[in-house]
Amino acid sequence: MMAPPECALWREKTVQTKEMPVGKGLFADDQVDLELLRKYAFWRWGALPPDVIPLTAADPDFPVAQEIRQAIKVHAEGGLLGYGPTEGIAGFREIAARTAAERHGLSCTPDLIMPTGGAAAAMWIVAKYALQPGDQAIIFDPVDLLFGLSVDAAGGRRVYSPVDRGTGAFDLEGMRALITPRTRLLCLCNPHNPLGRVLTRDELTTIAQIAVEHDLLIMSDEVWSDIVYKPNSHISIATLGPEVAARTVSIYGLSKTFALAGLRVGFLVAPDRAMFRRLDAVARVLGAGFGITTLGQVAGMAAYEDCWYWAEAFLDHLREVRDVAVQRLNGIPGVRCLTPEGTYVLFPDVSRFGKGSAEMTDYLLREARVMTVPGTVEWFGPGAAGHIRLCFSTSMAIMREALDRLEDALSRLGSR
């Protein structure tokens, strides 16, 4: 398939040089520029004193692929930064549809792709479409805060489906028992943030059966679907048959895979044109704030068309950091940490130290100068109690330093 015309300009003007790091060199320790991070990584390094290591927002510390930078540069050099089409750039929708089909097995065409201002905006649109005030939505517990916030914003009511924090097992029969006549939406996070679980085919099949039996819409957040470690593999629930596909809206974003969080690049895949039109009507009511920028789409096209080599090298690096971090954390008396099957976050249980999650986060900031995310209701739901979340999308050197500090501080605290 020929590349859309929007792709051609940056390809003509992109210059590859031997000085550019390739493969593992892209993620060597010296590729993390602390000065730039403190200047531009506003949610991580820029928000804290210079002696603090932030393992907070799930945002890589590495510079994005050269092709993405070049695409943005070429577009900006043209001097025109006006409004893009409401429905999104045709080239972006085409590449997004092709990617969803080739990498995730979805049956979709460009006219079923809705570009959004990140995966979060897509979640808001789906929740608003599915829920009337007082309607219920089932979400995992624990899970990323955006699920609950999107349900709240739509006027719906959260219904938590507990996940076993010790094993990562989903209680699917328990999920079935939660359904009432007011249940309208079933929310998936696959791969799961913060536990790092990648749902199996059997688990997804059971969830799909529940949705079909009770006529529920499925909102499947698959923003982490490219960050999956072998031998695990990601399966999109919409591929489990036509009945399931007809009631599933799949959500993707490029922030985790290509380090594009600041550009808010995402999209949803509607199952058919009728639902797409209804979702589009909701998006228009919610307003332009839920749309995607032109530069975001330019970056997204470059990423999907030319930068999978970067994503694959990133995944190799992440696997190495993950293995070191899990081993080190489980070697600290009082800490229990599952090995994530996907994502680049860890969710260790630190409850044996006798401190609540927020208290532990404050202690580690004060005593270790490492910032983590507390397992509080606000961040992950009531099932997150006793845990903290650590993001490991940084260099091996920085992660080792953070682990040294954590081990020292926790060893001084002592477990019960």
Does residue 69 belong to any structural domain of this protein? Answer: no
Query: Do 99 and 157 lie in a common domain?
Result: yes
pLDDT above 80 (res 11): no
Contacts of 250 (CB under 8 A, 6+ apart): 100, 104, 106, 220, 222, 236, 237, 238, 268, 269
Q: What is the per-residue burial (b if ≥16 Cβ within 10 Å, else e) of 200-228?
A: eeebbbbbbebbbeeebbbbbbbbbbbbb
Residue 28 CA neighbour count, 13 Å, CB half: 8
- The whole-number average pLDDT for the span 330-344 is 97
Average pLDDT over residues 343-365: 97
Residues 223 and 127 in one domain: yes
| Number of folded domains that form the chain | 2
Is residue 170, in this structure, part of any structural domain at all? yes
- pLDDT > 70: what percent of the chain? 93
User: What is the C-alpha separation between 275 and 192, in angstroms, rounded?
Assistant: 26
For residues 174 and 192, membership in a common domain is answered with: yes
Can you give the pLDDT at residue 416?
59
Per-residue model confidence (pLDDT) at position 84: 86
* Cα–Cα distance measured from residue 312 to residue 343, given in angstroms and rounded to the nearest whole number: 14
pLDDT at 414: 74
| Domain end position, chosen among 236, 271, 306 | 306
Asked, for residue 27, whether it belongs to a domain, the answer is no
Residue 160 and residue 55 in one domain: no
Q: Cα–Cα–Cα angle for 281, 283, 286, nearest 5°?
A: 110
One domain, residues 270 and 354: no
146, with CB counted inside 10 A (0-12, 13-18, 19+), is buried
pTM for the full predicted model: 0.93
What's the confidence (pLDDT) of residue 16? 43
- Same domain for 317 and 284, yes or no, is no
Determine what percent of the chain is predicted with pLDDT higher than 90: 86
HSE-CB at 368 with a 13 A cutoff on CA atoms is 26
Q: Which of 108, 150, 392 minimizes the C-alpha distance to 272?
A: 108
Q: Encoding tokens for residue 278?
A: 């209804």
Domain range for 163: 90-306
pLDDT digit string (tens) for 268-288? 999 999 999 999 999 988 776
Looking at the structure, do residues 324 and 388 belong to the same domain, yes or no? yes
Same domain, yes or no, for 135 and 214?
A: yes
In a domain, 199, yes or no: yes
Q: Over the stretch 40-92, which tens digit does the pLDDT of each residue have?
A: 998 899 989 999 999 999 999 999 999 999 999 999 999 988 888 889 999 99
Indicate whether 385 belongs to any domain.
yes
Report which of 409, 311, 413 is spatially closest to residue 364, judged by C-alpha positions. 409
pLDDT-derived band at 291, boundaries 50, 70, 90: confident
Mean pLDDT of 301-318: 97
> What's the mean pLDDT when you consider all of the chain?
93
b (16+ CB within 10 A) / e for 253-289:
bbbbbbbbbbbbbbbbbbbeeebbeebbebbeebeee
- For residues 251 and 346, membership in a common domain is answered with no
Confidence of residue 18 (pLDDT cuts 50, 70, 90): very low
Q: d(Cα 335, Cα 92) in Å, to the nearest integer?
A: 44
Question: Alpha helix locations (H) across 49-154?
Answer: 66-77, 90-104, 119-130, 145-153
Tell whether 24 is covered by a domain: no
Residue 196 in this model has a pLDDT that exceeds 60 = yes
What are the residues whose beta carbons fall under 8 Å from the beta carbon of 255, sequence distance 6 or more? 59, 118, 119, 223, 261, 263, 264, 265, 266
Nearest CA-CA partner of 315 in 402, 398, 226, 399: 226
Say if 1 falls within a structural domain.
no
130 and 40 together in one domain: no
CATH number at residue 56: 3.90.1150.10
189 and 222 both lie in a single domain: yes
Q: Which of 273, 306, 339 is the last residue of a domain?
A: 306
Rounded to an integer, the average pLDDT of 236-249 is 98
Domain assignment present for 354: yes
Amino acid identity, residue 310?
A: W
Same-domain pairing of 177 and 98: yes
CATH of the domain at 235: 3.40.640.10
| End-of-domain residue from the set 274, 306, 338 | 306
